Amino acid sequence: MIENYSDLEQVSMEPETAPKNTFRELLSEAVKTLLLALILYFAISAVTDRVRVENISMQPTLYEGELLVVNKLAYRFGEPHRGDIIVFHHNSQPPEDYIKRVIGLPGDTINIQNGQVSINDRVIEEPYISAEAAYQGSWQVPDGMLFVLGDNRNRSSDSHVWGFVPQQEVVGRAVLIYWPLNSVRILSHDDIVQAYP
């Protein structure tokens, strides 16, 4: 008979917990992660678009094959500026998205003479073009429209050929080149803004 209970080893009498269903937890976490990824994808897609440059009309600013981020909200909360690089729906057959630089805003008079572009009789500096335009003409930009040109002036189908871009057809403003990595940079409209304050 044992009288000294202190000599007895204390044995835990807690019931053993059943092993958790790890497969169910793993599946639940995978579903949550997938849902979060989908929400983020659609949220990012509502604000931005990703486009690929398909031709040479914007050289030397943009080169064929480069991938861009386009801010789709740029003109919901603001107005286009001269020098912005925009993506817009063009009514070609089949319909395509084009990328060009905004030169003229509603009410502007655009003149191209002797290779120089003037806005409302003021010649602008354009360090971003590949060569001066070999064509000439004059355009008055109507309300709700934009006058756009490619930086590769003599190899670009743009407003000097087919007219103005309705503002409601603008997808957004190109803000960033993200591929290839050696071309990564933010796209700015400062050059033309400085030339035309």
User: What is the Cβ-side half-sphere exposure of residue 102, based on CA atoms within 13 angstroms?
Assistant: 29
> Does residue 154 sit within a domain?
yes
Q: Which domain holds residue 60?
A: 50-195
pLDDT of residue 155: 95
* 38 falls within a domain: no
Question: 32 lies in a domain?
Answer: no
Contacts for 6 with CB less than 8 Å, ≥ 6 apart: none
Q: State residue 9's pLDDT score.
A: 53
Contact 42, 159 (CB under 8 A): no
Number of folded domains that form the chain: 1
CB 67 within 8 A of CB 83: no
Let me know if residue 95 belongs to a domain. Answer: yes
pLDDT tens string, the chain, 197 residues long: the values are 445 555 545 555 555 554 557 888 888 888 888 888 877 777 666 677 889 999 999 999 999 999 999 999 989 888 999 999 999 999 876 788 999 999 999 999 999 999 999 999 999 989 999 999 999 999 999 999 999 999 999 999 999 999 999 999 999 999 999 999 999 999 876 555 455 54
pLDDT in tens, 50-99: 899 999 999 999 999 999 999 999 898 889 999 999 999 998 767 889 99
Those residues whose C-beta lies under 8 Å from the C-beta of residue 28, and which sit 6 or more positions away, are none
Give domain status of residue 39, yes or no.
no
Please indicate, yes or no, if residue 9 is contained in any of the structural domains.
Answer: no
- Work out the number of other CB atoms within 10 angstroms of the CB of residue 45: 11
With respect to residue 186, please indicate whether it lies within any of the assigned structural domains: yes
Active site residues: 57, 100
Is residue 20 a part of any domain in this protein?
Answer: no
Q: What is the CATH number of the domain that holds 131?
A: 2.10.109.10
